[in-house]
Amino acid sequence: MAICLYCPSEANSREHPLPAAFGEFENAPLLDGRICRDCNSNLLGILDEQLARCGPEAIMRRYFQVEGRSTHEKVNLHHRGSAGGGRIIAKAYDKTLGQEVELELQGGRQARQLCQIVITEPSGKTHHLPIAPDLRDPKKLRAEFDKLRVVDVASATVQLVCDPEETQWLHPLLKAVWPDVTFGESQLGASNFEQGATFDIRVNLRYFQGIAKIGFHYFLTQFPQFDGSEPCFADVRSFITRQGGPAQLANEFIGERPGPLLGNMKDGARPAGWVAHVLTAEITADACLAHVQFFVSEEYPAPVRSIHLAPKPDNARSRGSGHIYRYFQEGLRGRL
């Protein structure tokens, strides 16, 4: 009986080195019989969750409208984070309203103003209070407002940013929280933000553990002489399963590779219309390494993350392997 890499249970599951949140790909390598179902679903699943929903990859998933499995919970990345990571905050200056507003990405280059209250204090400090469609409880809205710690509420300028049809439920909600509130004339904001947007991305150690896990598992699919339980991999296994700690701990295992993984992308060249993920693994003269690059595309200068898995075992010969997970340009073919 094979034992799980991360606990004493039976290794009875099949694992996708590239998480299903990025899609399912034809003939993609799978890791069979190395991990138990509980670790696969819970311990490792929470790492995938933060990686796919809170990091830069969350923005690219929305940009390219990659949904992942239909059975998984759908989370609006602008309303809440996942697995301890923060929500994605996208802001742009709306010259029509004369305010910086939060945006909600809708796919491709399309964005809309997030439903929100914008509060500007006399000092010029601005607060944004997003209002999710399911936030209908006045007590919860008040609690979210209190978290902003607005210093001078009485003298602040307040604007409600929403679509016209949303006022039907927003006005009664706001009246329930602030009975004396009144509403002025509505004004549609801009739909085109000429200066682009800025993004606030907040991740913790789990994000980097997820990257290390992908690299480790892909490496094992390409070098079957290793089962992953070898002593040389003890440190990376311990890192992947660590519960908490500063994100800086990742520096021991993960770095950014300066050069591209694909030779035809040297000198800054970008793909011509196609989108893909690239996973590679190699045994060099002194180390076992993996490299991951998500959403390689014309639109995104995808960084290459290099994962140091272990020192080179004495009996291993140097070689490398790689896969390109490329999306069909015309969209899904079945579930692939």
**Residues 6+ positions from 261 with CB-CB distance below 8 Å:** 278, 280, 291, 293, 304, 322
Cα separation, 291 vs 305, in Å, equals 6
Cα separation, 4 vs 12, in Å, equals 8
Please tell me the predicted confidence (pLDDT) of residue 245.
96
Query: pTM, whole model, 2 decimals?
Result: 0.92
Greatest Cα pair distance in the chain: 77
| Mean pLDDT of the region 117-137 | 93
Please say whether the beta carbons of 228 and 34 come within 8 A.
yes
| Mean pLDDT of the region 120-139 | 93
Please tell me the predicted confidence (pLDDT) of residue 237.
98
Does residue 55 carry a pLDDT above 70?
A: yes
Please tell me the predicted confidence (pLDDT) of residue 335.
80
Please say whether the beta carbons of 126 and 119 come within 8 A.
yes
Q: Number of helices (H) and strands (E), helices first, in the chain? A: 7, 14
Q: How sure is the predictor about 182, in pLDDT bands with cuts at 50, 70 and 90?
A: confident
Give the C-alpha distances (Å, rounded to integers) separating 239 from 19, 155, 207, 290: 19, 50, 12, 15
| Mean pLDDT of the region 251-275 | 89
Does residue 6 carry a pLDDT above 70?
A: yes
The model's pLDDT over 89-110, given as tens digits with 9 standing for 90+, comes to: 999 998 888 889 999 998 888 8
**Across all residues in the chain, what is the average pLDDT?**
92
| Mean pLDDT of the region 132-137 | 93
Q: How sure is the predictor about 336, in pLDDT bands with cuts at 50, 70 and 90?
A: confident
Please tell me the predicted confidence (pLDDT) of residue 72.
60
Q: Is 269 helix (H, G, I), strand (E, B) or coil?
A: coil
Cα separation, 155 vs 202, in Å, equals 31
Please tell me the predicted confidence (pLDDT) of residue 110.
84
| Mean pLDDT of the region 112-118 | 91
Q: Which of 6-15, 179-188, 218-227, 304-313 has the lowest mean pLDDT?
A: 179-188
Please tell me the predicted confidence (pLDDT) of residue 138.
95
Does residue 241 carry a pLDDT above 90?
A: yes
Q: How sure is the predictor about 48, in pLDDT bands with cuts at 50, 70 and 90?
A: very high
Please tell me the predicted confidence (pLDDT) of residue 73.
64
Please tell me the predicted confidence (pLDDT) of residue 96.
82
CA 25-205-321 angle, to 5 degrees, is 35
